[in-house]
Amino acid sequence: MPEDFDFRWAAVILSGGIGFLAIGLMFAASMFISSRRHSSVKLTPYECGIPPTPFRWSQINIRYYIFAILFLIFDVEAVFLFPWAVVFLDDAVGSVPFYAMLIFLAVLAFAILYGWRKGALQWSR
């Protein structure tokens, strides 16, 4: 083991101890400083300034869910483009990654055109 090993772990343990001590002090300070007057208004859940009401049935349009799913699909597509760009920069891999990504992008282009033609991307009608 290197000689610095104990010193490095001592710094980690010291940092953790100081962090836990700071958290404990903040919890204790909030307990002593906070207001002690309880009322029915203070005990109700906060919902953006709107008084909470019992749940009532409301119908939500399915277009919002479809729009969100399409966003997630194309967001994941962007995640797949980054590793492809890294692999494509390497000259040794040949042209296989390029054509594989072209097929992937063609399928996604077909999906976006299909959704567009069906009207899934229109926010209101």
Q: pLDDT at residue 13 above 90?
A: yes
Task: Round the CA-based radius of gyration of the chain to a whole number and report it.
Answer: 28
Q: Could you tell me if 96 and 83 are in contact, meaning their C-beta atoms sit under 8 angstroms apart? A: no
φ and ψ at residue 115, rounded to 5 degrees: -65, -35
CA angle 29/32/35 to nearest 5° reads 120
Distance, in Å, from the CA atom of 9 to the CA atom of 15, rounded to the nearest integer, reads 10
What is the average per-residue pLDDT within 88-103?
Answer: 76
What is the average per-residue pLDDT within 73-77?
Answer: 81
Mean residue pLDDT across the chain = 80
In single-letter form, the type of residue at position 39 comes to S
Q: pLDDT at residue 1 above 60?
A: no
| Residue 119, Ramachandran bin (φ over 0: left; ψ between -120 and 50: alpha; else beta) | left
Q: What are the structural domain ranges in the chain? A: 62-118
Q: pLDDT at residue 52 above 60?
A: yes
The number of C-alpha atoms within 13 Å of 67 and in the hemisphere containing its C-beta is 10
Distance, in Å, from the CA atom of 11 to the CA atom of 66, rounded to the nearest integer, reads 51
Longest distance between any two alpha carbons in the chain, whole Å = 72
Q: Name the band, by pLDDT with cuts 50, 70 and 90, for residue 4.
A: low
Query: What pLDDT score was predicted for residue 2?
Result: 64
Q: Using a pLDDT cut of 70, give the percent of the chain over it.
A: 84
- pLDDT tens by residue, 25-47: 999 999 999 877 878 777 777 76
Query: What pLDDT score was predicted for residue 28?
Result: 96
66 exposure class (CB count in 10 Å sphere: 0-12, 13-18, 19+): middle
